[in-house]
Amino acid sequence: MEKLNNLFFVSILLFLPQLIFAQKQAVDLIIRNGTVVTMNAPKTVIENGAIAVRKSEIVAVGTVAEITQKFSSTQTIDAGGKVVIPGLINTHTHIPMTLFRGIADDLDLQEWLQKYIFPAEAKNVTEDFVRVGTRLGLAEMIRGGTTTYCDMYYFEDAIADETSKAGVRGVLGETLIDFPAPDNKTFADAKIYAEKFVKKMAGKFFDCSGDCAPRALHLFGKLALLNR
Ligand SMILES: [Zn+2]
């Protein structure tokens, strides 16, 4: 009987680590040791905080002790000495224009647009230009902590494609303008493109994705008529 008891004791000892480990939930990533700025309603800031992430979802936020007691992960990031904040949102971009950076500065908007930007766009903007400029803009935004941005440009479908590949959220609108644009030479063609884009993007990013630019234009058109 004593032998049996001993065996039981030994087996408990053997399986104890697994029992403790089994109580922990597996996640894909734990970020630990940072100052976590939650931006929840009471604006809680957790010193020596940790975040448990499963796939692309935050499953728990707390102190290092709380998180490591409940979760285990093979991948961890030591954020010691750093602040961990929610992703930033860039609310106004024409992202491929990163490639026009520095061609003209410190001018009145109309002069800047009409003397420099519109001619440069007519000469240079192709789908390729847009893709390359978007990739550069996305890399810069990711580096600066931006995870969502709101954009309006030409070839917006290509911008959506690059944005999706980069894993960034985009609220994207195709430009409708009353002169020949780089992607659509007539307003009618631009409208067809925009409508197709809105349908294709429905539900993919945010609710108003692919909708903002045409909707805004409609509103501005109405306002312009009222002001005549
Ligand atoms: Zn703008």
> What's residue 216's pLDDT?
56
Domain CATH number, residue 12: 2.30.40.10
Q: Determine the distance separating the centroid of ligand 1 and the alpha carbon of 57, expressed in angstroms.
A: 32
3-state SS, residue 97? helix
Here the tokens at position 82 are 């750093």
Looking up tokens 């009987």 gives 1
Q: Please tell me what DSSP assigns to residue 87.
A: P
Domain boundary among 84, 102, 130: 84
Q: Determine the distance separating the centroid of ligand 1 and the alpha carbon of 222, expressed in angstroms.
A: 20
> What's residue 195's pLDDT?
86
Phi, psi of 67 (to 5 degrees): -70, -45
Q: Determine the distance separating the centroid of ligand 1 and the alpha carbon of 92, expressed in angstroms.
A: 6
Domain of 11, in residue numbers: 2-84
> What's residue 72's pLDDT?
96
> What's residue 54's pLDDT?
96
Q: Determine the distance separating the centroid of ligand 1 and the alpha carbon of 93, expressed in angstroms.
A: 6
> What's residue 7's pLDDT?
56
Q: Determine the distance separating the centroid of ligand 1 and the alpha carbon of 101, expressed in angstroms.
A: 14
> What's residue 56's pLDDT?
83
Looking at the fold, whether 79 and 93 belong to one and the same domain comes out as no
Q: Quick count: other Cβ atoms within 10 Å of Cβ 67?
A: 24
Looking at the fold, whether 198 and 171 belong to one and the same domain comes out as yes
> What's residue 21's pLDDT?
53
3-state SS, residue 54? strand
CA–CA dist 201, 210 (Å, integer): 6
> What's residue 134's pLDDT?
97
Looking at the fold, whether 99 and 76 belong to one and the same domain comes out as no
Q: Determine the distance separating the centroid of ligand 1 and the alpha carbon of 66, expressed in angstroms.
A: 45
Q: For residue 108, how many C-alpha atoms fall within 13 Å in the half-sphere facing its CB?
A: 4
Looking up tokens 């903007």 gives 125
Q: Estimate the crossing angle of helix 212-226 against helix 187-201, to 10 degrees.
A: 140
Burial 7-44 (b: 16+ CB within 10 A, else e): eeeeeeeeeeeeeeeeeeeebebbbbbbbbebeeeeee
Looking at the fold, whether 119 and 186 belong to one and the same domain comes out as yes
Per-residue pLDDT of the chain (228 residues; tens, 9 = 90+): 556 566 555 555 555 555 555 579 999 999 999 999 999 999 999 999 999 999 989 999 999 999 999 999 999 999 999 999 999 999 899 999 999 999 999 999 999 999 999 999 999 999 999 999 999 999 999 999 999 899 999 999 999 999 989 989 888 888 888 888 999 999 889 889 988 888 888 777 543 444 455 555 555 556 555 544
Q: Quick count: other Cβ atoms within 10 Å of Cβ 142?
A: 14
Q: Estimate the crossing angle of helix 156-166 against helix 187-201, to 10 degrees.
A: 30
Q: Determine the distance separating the centroid of ligand 1 and the alpha carbon of 74, expressed in angstroms.
A: 43
| Tens digits of residue pLDDT in 50-106 | 999 999 899 999 999 999 999 999 999 999 999 999 999 998 999 999 999 999 999
Give the count of domains, the chain. 2
Looking at the fold, whether 68 and 106 belong to one and the same domain comes out as no
Q: Determine the distance separating the centroid of ligand 1 and the alpha carbon of 167, expressed in angstroms.
A: 23
Looking at the fold, whether 103 and 211 belong to one and the same domain comes out as yes
